[in-house]
Structure 1
Amino acid sequence: MDSAAPEAVPTPDAPLAPDDPLHAGWQPLPPRARALFVLSVAPSFAVPALAAGFVLGHLADQRVLGAGIGVALGAAFGLWLGLRQFDRLQWQLDESGLAVRRGRLWQRETRVPATRVQHLDLKRGPLQRKRSLATLVVHTAGTRHGAVTVPHLDGRDAEALRERLSRQIDDDGA
């Protein structure tokens, strides 16, 4: 097989075959999404750590040093946590719908039956477009949360998932 040939995206009306890449069990995010995933997590820890470092630095009369240490520790923790979360996020498509699994210690699995899908969105920011990534947003009906988001999917996988789930919506409505 020629490694330069583009992979075929499955047609939305074809049944899921066992050798279908969308049916291969739990799928991780692509490695090229690692940096974007970590960048989306790390800053959320740097700001509170900055505040804590500033307060501690103020108490020790070393505000700038305390703030710098706080930011460094917060960013380091955010980087570590982002890498861990990246490795623990997986998705799966089967005949009943989409499932997303997150976490290790507190593992959370969200299953979206195809019959509950209302509509689907693909989002692509400039950094995602540069890396051929996309975020799939599945809007659901009658659930506690109104949408399930799968960030930084491979662009072709995201499009194939959207088409497959859209087709299931159309088939259920007919």
Structure 2
Amino acid sequence: MNAALPAADHDADGWQPLPRRARALFLLGGLGFALPAALVPLLLAGALDLAGPGRYALAGALLGAAFGVWRGDRAWRYTHWRLDADGFSLRRGRLWRAETRVPQSRVQHLDLRRGPLQRRYGLATLVIHTAGTRHSAVAVPCLDAADAERLRDRLARQRDEDDDDDAPA
């Protein structure tokens, strides 16, 4: 387990939440719903020849932004990760929960990505490329940058140790 995190930051099963400062990026990402939500009523108002289509677009944009912020908050709140002796797990969602498990034996290589906003907030995205089909990768957005580096190093070390164990004597 990651010894750098206080015990209060994970549950009894070792699931780690995303850092609190990542919430802002999830909320900003949710604002992307505002534009399509503004265009739909604008197009409908124009097609139905309603007076003042701008009002409908503004109402749609506000509703879309509110929905996007709510959805971004939920995505942040219900995204957790865990690293154990068998590999890495990512769990997302509450009502429709998706859990992705990457056994350490399937890890091919690891990338860290940091956009300008992630660097500003001290965050990083860990990308775990796996063996199997083309473009197989698990991306864990908005991890604490130090945690992402430790995860990358630990998964790489586990992978290297597995390769050493498989080598003929």
Shorter-chain TM-score above 0.5:
yes
Structure 2 counterpart of 1:63 = 53
Structure 1 counterpart of 2:19 = 30
SS at match of 1:42: helix
Are the equivalent residues in 1 in contact too, given 2:112–2:127 (CA < 8 A)?
yes
1:29-108 to 2 correspondence within 5 Å?
29-43=18-32, 45-58=33-46, 59=48, 60-108=50-98
Structure 2 unaligned runs (5+)? 165-169
The Cα of 1:135 is off from its aligned counterpart by 0.5
Are the equivalent residues in 2 in contact too, given 1:53–1:71 (CA < 8 A)?
no
Distance in 1 (CA, whole Å) between partners of 2:44 and 2:59 is 10
TM-score by length of 2: 0.85
Are the equivalent residues in 2 in contact too, given 1:57–1:65 (CA < 8 A)?
no
Whether 1:133 and 2:91 are equivalent positions in the alignment is no
SS at match of 2:37: helix
TM-score by length of 1: 0.83
SS at match of 2:23: helix
Q: In structure 2, do the counterparts of structure 1 residues 41 and 143 end up closer, same or farther at CA, with 3 Å as the change threshold? A: farther
Structure 1 unaligned runs (5+)? 1-15
The Cα of 1:168 is off from its aligned counterpart by 1.1
The structure with higher relative contact order (CA 8 Å, sep 6+) is 1
1:165 to 155, 160, 164: 155
Distance in 2 (CA, whole Å) between partners of 1:47 and 1:143 is 35
Distance in 1 (CA, whole Å) between partners of 2:85 and 2:30 is 32
Greater than 3 Å deviation, 4+ residue runs: 21-24
1:117 to 85, 107, 111: 107
Are the equivalent residues in 2 in contact too, given 1:53–1:70 (CA < 8 A)?
yes
Q: In structure 2, do the counterparts of structure 1 residues 21 and 109 end up closer, same or farther at CA, with 3 Å as the change threshold? A: farther
The Cα of 1:42 is off from its aligned counterpart by 2.4
The Cα of 1:76 is off from its aligned counterpart by 0.7
Aligned-residue identity in percent? 56
Are the equivalent residues in 1 in contact too, given 2:30–2:70 (CA < 8 A)?
no
Distance in 2 (CA, whole Å) between partners of 1:168 and 1:150 is 19
The RMSD of aligned alpha carbons is: 1.9
